[in-house]
Each structure stands twice: as structure tokens, then as C-alpha cells.
Structure 1
Amino acid sequence: MTVEQFPDRTILIEGKTYLYFGGTSYLGMATHPDFQDLLYKSLKKWGTAYGSSRNSNIKLGIYQKAETLFAEILEAEAVLTVSSGTLAGNLVIAYLAQSHDHFFHYPKTHPAILKSSSKPLFVDGKLDPQLTNGIEESIVIAADAITSLAVTPTNFDFLNDISSSKRITLLVDESHSLGIIGEHGRGVFRTMTHPKISQKIMISSLTKAYGCSGGVIAGDLKLIGTIKNDAVFISASGMNPIFLQTFYEAQNLFDQQFKKLRENLRFLYADLYLSEAFQFDPNYPVIYCNSDGIFEYLKSKSIIITNFKYPNYDTMMNRIVITANHTQQDLKHLKTALMLFQKKTLH
């Protein structure tokens, strides 16, 4: 399906308007009028783009201002912004490869934080034996804060069973948690306090909940300082300053939209009863359905959801997304359609 304008709570396809419950604009920032006004003011201040290196003799003050604010929000020692979440992951992986012996990854981890030689964390349902032996070594464990097809944060209790001889760096991708879960939507980074973690690092796209094209890295001062001197970082353009300025100015809007999203979730789940064919959590704005017929059925009810083949998955992904911009009438229509689908199809 190809569209000619951004899909918000509605989407126009071949001349017909549908309710849209897809995408990743969880807070609805991309089409928020006040957010767009801030973005326009930022554009007038900083221009459409800035292609110079962050290490140039001329430095834009908004980078330090926005990154300092972000570090405070995340309760991180330091933060660095880059042009995308994928670049953030690549820079961190390259940094860690210089000092860590082995990389492991949680199931269904996003490719942005996967080293090519990374090994699965679990083998036949148990931790890789290398993680439980007594050999002293530095390891990296990569995981999504919330994996695709999951609706609750990743459980890190498996760290309890890893040998104390391992120096663990935990690398987490918060692209689908930052801005929408945790206290005030601040994600999970600040809560990653397991005693076996020697270093914690977070990367995330800023395009999803925050509606700002770019990526972020959060960690300790050594990590951020080293990456700032990395050849790839130096030679690349930074995150567009208009989005950093907008992020800096939009904190109240983010809070307002986060509250609206929570209200929408409370309204939706107040009297919604879903079968085991659906995976959901009242605190997360995504519902997954493993029934192949859900997409076409909802389309027949004038609802479009996300439906595509996702990397690392064997089947099509049916993803129903609730945003801060949906109205109660939208949510009532969705609830009715889901209940009818269950009644007619799953029983």
C-alpha cells in the first residue's frame, strides 16, 4: 500500500479513508500542530540541514544542550546523539569489539545491535555453556528492551545464572520503549541495576515516540568520549539540529502526549477481552495477533493495521498500534471490530 501523506489516526488508501492503527508514532508527535510549530521555528533558526562534522571548529550549541538534557532524563553519565538508531548501534558495537572477547544476544534482538559473530544467549532453552563456566572474560549481551512480538519489557533475570567470572556489558535497544514505558515514559535504562552488570549502554531511535529523526547513545563518560573521537563519528554529519532544538523545546508536549496515551490505553482495556490469539499488555500500546485473517477482517471494518514480514520472524506480523492521537470513538470502533473478529473467526 502506497500513500501520499503521513498516516496519523486515519489513512487514505485508493480514495477511501480508514482508521489507522499501525506505525510507530506512539505519542503522535509527527502530526501534532504544536510540535510542528516548534519544528518550523527550529528550522528557521538552524536551517534545513547541517552537514559539518561534530568535531569541526564551529560547533552548534544545541548539541550539548540537548544531550545534557537527555542525560538528565535518562539518568546517564553521558549521552551522544547521531543521525539514526542504526548508526548508534553500529558505533557502539565497533567500540565494544575493541575490548570484549565474546558477544551474545537475546532472542529476536534487533540487527542494529547485533555483531556478526554474536552467539545466541540460549541454546536449547538453556544459557550457552560458555556463560556459566569459570573462565574470566569480558562479554557483551545485547537485547531489545521490548522485543518485537513482545508487549512487556525483557526480563533480565537470566543474569542471575551467568558466572561471576564474566564481566558483563549489557547493551539494550530502547527504540520501542523510550518515551512510552517507565516513569514518565523514560524507558528502562535507569532501572538496569543488576549487580552482575559491569557496564550498561542504551541505544535508541528517536524517530518513533519522539518524532525526531535521529538516534541516541547513553552510557558512561569513557564510552561517549571514545565514540566522539571515532573516525566514523567524526566523518559523519550529526543529527539534524532542527530536531534537537525541537526535542529540547518539546518536553511539555511529550509529557502531555504520554498522559493522553495512558488515558487511551486505560479506555481501550477497560472492557476489552481478548483470546489467546492476541498478545497484549494494558501498559503497552501494541497488540499482536497470530491469526492470518486479522488484517483483511479489520480492513473490511475500515481499519488498517501494520502487516509485514519482519526480520528474524517466520510469519507475517500483525501489529495493532494505539497512539496518543486516537479518539475514544476510534478506540470504540477498534474494540467492536476485535470482539466481532473473535466471535466469528476464533470460536
Structure 2
Amino acid sequence: MITIPYLTALTTYFSYGLLFAFGQFREFFRKIFDWWRGNNLQGYAPICLGLEDFYIRRLYLRVQDCFGRPICSPPDAWFDVVERLSNDNNKTLKRTTKVSRCLNLGSYNYLGFAASDEYCTPRVIESLKKYSASTCSARVDGGTTSIHMELEECVANFVGKPAAIVTGMGYVTNSAILPVLIGKGGLIISDSLNHNSIVNGARGSGATIRVFQHNTPSHLEKVLREHIAEGQPRTHRPWKKIIVIVEGIYSMEGELCQLPEIVAICKKYKVYVYLDEAHSIGAVGKSGRGVCELLGVDTADVDIMMGTFTKSFGSCGGYIAGSKELIEYLKYSCPAHLYATSISPPAAQQIISAIKVILGEDGTSRGQNFDYQNSLLVSSL
């Protein structure tokens, strides 16, 4: 975890405070002029209200050029950024022909697979020629090809589970699958710093949600013991299902999950463990197989293993790995599988090829030479 110096934090808050004060001063006169000119919304409600509108106009627009800059090269460790100009105080930005070479610190590209690769790229191009750019269909209709079946088998073998299901978007993997796994009468106990996709998925499930202090197994046990004893609200009936949700590496803090202790507590109280390895799969462990390999946890003790392909594998989408019964159930009930367009064949081939490189199945030792432990630093940036 990176600690911020007090002077840096104080000067940052002071700058925001100064901008806020001057912005409010200007807002006062703006309201007077708007009242004098009359309302020009013609009966429509304003799209942005309150502090949201104030933040966009008085704070964000002043620094808008620092965000969303277009790039004109592959998103490798270094890339080319197009410079922009504004003649109206950043309300509109115009592209120029000038390009700046920048160090890429805003990418998930932990192992470098997002750039052109000697092994992956030719195979992706071949899959593009064979399967086209997209299936344009959900998995249950015309969206399942032989390459999708190969990908799911490859992922299951890589993470050490009997079966896996893949989706076209990492965020949706959590937000769409959690409501299928648990519902009303169930209890979700979530780490207080879990990702927003987990938060939204838990809220959409209808289950009761409780949080425990970030990465604190002792507090998790306390929460579990109390809620198992109390049962469901009002009726005090036993919970239909209890799931504990943690992340392998917490993306904003760069901290490793205390997985062995958490798994031991979950086994003690006979509750399910849901492990989000979006930032850890491919990035840590002796052979890149994630926190279970790194911390010596048997994957059989983790009931549901989730991960994404956008970080270490240079592609898109996500996966759920677990028992064959679980994956079969998800294929019949998960909205991300039933209704969403399947992951594109070239993206699927990129993942398969990247896994083969990591495992050394490409005929080289590149996978063994990856510094997986230092990928922790990358994931914390």
C-alpha cells in the first residue's frame, strides 16, 4: 500500500478548497444573471443537478485536457498521445498534429500481451480470418464456437477447477452472476473495499449484505458468528445460503488478500468463498496462477473463482470457475450468458495464446521468465 505524504495531501485538499470557494462565488453571480435573463430550459428539468453540475463546470472543465487523451499507437509500455488545444477555456478541445511520447501508467497491461506479440498476434489474426471479428450473437444462440469451448477448458485447467464459463465483459461477470448465485433469504458478507462490480452485483441479488473490515479475518469471523446466530431479519430463520466475497489483490490498495485465514474461517462456519482474481490471475504465483498458488491455498477450498482477461492476458471479458454443476447451472440461468453477445473469437484466441505462453506451451521459456512477484507493483499503480 502506497502512503501519501501529509504535505501532498494537505496541498491537494487546499487547492480543491480554493477552487470550490471561487467556484461558489462565481455561481452566486451566475444565478443572478440567470434570474435576470429568465429560464431557458423551456419546461425541461436540468440534466445535471447540484454539486454534480458545479463540479463539471467549475472544477473538471479546468483540467479536462488531462483526461481522456486520444492515443495513436498500440497501448504498450510507451505510447503516443495526441495533443489538444482549446480556445474556449476547455469547453471544447481540438486535436492537433503534434504527438507526445508518454510512459503508460494507466493500463492493465501487466505482462505486455496487449501489444504485438510474436506468439499471440499471428494466431489472433488467423482466428480473425477464420471466425470473423464477432459472432454477433449470444452464447446460447449462434455465439458459441469451438474456440469458446477451448477457452473455457483452458481457463478451467489454468486456475485448477473442473469447469469454467466466460463472459464478454469483466465488470458484468460480477454484477450479473452474483444475483444468480444468491437471492432473498441469503447473506453476502463482503470486504469493505471490494470492487464496485461486486457491490452492484450484491445489491442486485436481493440478499442481505453485511461488510467486514478490510482484509481483517478476525472481524469476518465476528460478523459471521453474529449473523449465523441471529438468522434472517425479523423471522430469525436460518440463512438459505451464505457467501463471503473477497479479492485476490485489491486494485486500489495493491494489497494481497489474507486468503488462508479467510478460507479457514469459511470452512469452520461452512460458508461459501467467492474469490475475485481480476488483478491477481496471471500476475502472481510461481506460474502466474494467482493468489491460491502464491499463498498455498488449495483451489478446492475456494468455491467460486472469478477473474478477468483485461489485465494479464491483454484481452477482454471475464470468467467464473467452479464445479461442473455450478457452471452448468450458470449456463442455463446467467443473463451474461443468455442475452449478452459472446466474447469475440479473436479476443478468445488472444487469451488462449497468452495462457500457453505463461505455461511455456509456446515452446519457449518466456513464461518462466516473467517476474510475477513484481506484477504486484504494477497492479497497485
Q: TM-score, normalised by structure 2?
A: 0.62
Which consecutive residues of structure 1, in runs of 5 or more, have no partner in the other structure?
Answer: 266-280, 289-318, 320-347
Note the alpha carbon deviations across 1:208-266, whole angstroms, 9 max, x for none: 1101221111111122111111161212221112222233344443455544541xx8x
Larger radius of gyration: 2
Q: 1: distance between equivalents of 2:155 and 2:184? A: 27
Q: 1: distance between equivalents of 2:143 and 2:75? A: 38
Note the alpha carbon deviations across 1:267-308, whole angstroms, 9 max, x for none: xxxxxxxxxxxxxx75623275xxxxxxxxxxxxxxxxxxxx
In structure 1, the residue matched to 2:113 is: 29
Q: Which residues in structure 2 correspond to 1:226-241 (within 5 Å)?
A: 226-230=329-333, 232=335, 233-241=337-345
* Of 131-140 and 112-121, the range deviating more from structure 2: 131-140
Aligned residue type for 1:76: K
- Which residue, out of 300, 304, 310, partners 1:207? 310
Q: 2: distance between equivalents of 1:240 and 1:43? A: 9
Cα 1:227–1:139 change in 2 (3 A) is same
Contact 2:279 2:379 in 1 (8 A): no
The answer to whether residue 80 in structure 2 is matched with residue 12 in structure 1 is yes
Cα 1:160–1:194 change in 2 (3 A) is farther
In structure 1, the residue matched to 2:137 is: 52
The answer to whether residue 188 in structure 2 is matched with residue 121 in structure 1 is no
Q: 2: distance between equivalents of 1:39 and 1:245? A: 6
In structure 2, the residue matched to 1:171 is: 274
In structure 2, the residue matched to 1:94 is: 179
In structure 2, the residue matched to 1:38 is: 123
Q: 2: distance between equivalents of 1:220 and 1:89? A: 17
Note the alpha carbon deviations across 1:312-340, whole angstroms, 9 max, x for none: xxxxxxx2xxxxxxxxxxxxxxxxxxxxx
The answer to whether residue 249 in structure 2 is matched with residue 146 in structure 1 is yes
Q: 1: distance between equivalents of 2:251 and 2:177? A: 21
The answer to whether residue 377 in structure 2 is matched with residue 285 in structure 1 is yes
Higher strand share: 1
Which of the pair has the greater relative contact order for Cα pairs under 8 Å at 6+ separation?
Answer: 1
Which consecutive residues of structure 2, in runs of 5 or more, have no partner in the other structure?
Answer: 1-66, 84-98, 230-237, 360-364
How many Å apart are 1:98 and its aligned residue? 3.8
Q: 2: distance between equivalents of 1:99 and 1:75? A: 31
Aligned residue type for 1:109: N
Q: 2: distance between equivalents of 1:161 and 1:80? A: 27
The answer to whether residue 338 in structure 2 is matched with residue 245 in structure 1 is no
Q: How many residues align?
A: 269
How big is the alpha-carbon RMSD for the aligned residues of Structure 1 and Structure 2?
3.0
Q: TM-score, normalised by structure 1?
A: 0.68
Note the alpha carbon deviations across 1:43-86, whole angstroms, 9 max, x for none: 10110111223223784111212211211111101101110112
SS at match of 2:256: coil
In structure 1, the residue matched to 2:224 is: 131
Contact 2:313 2:355 in 1 (8 A): no
Aligned residue type for 2:121: Q
In structure 2, the residue matched to 1:3 is: 70
The answer to whether residue 134 in structure 2 is matched with residue 74 in structure 1 is no
Q: 2: distance between equivalents of 1:224 and 1:93? A: 13
Note the alpha carbon deviations across 1:100-149, whole angstroms, 9 max, x for none: 62101113111222312522123998347441145354311111100024
Q: 2: distance between equivalents of 1:62 and 1:182? A: 27
Aligned residue type for 2:137: S
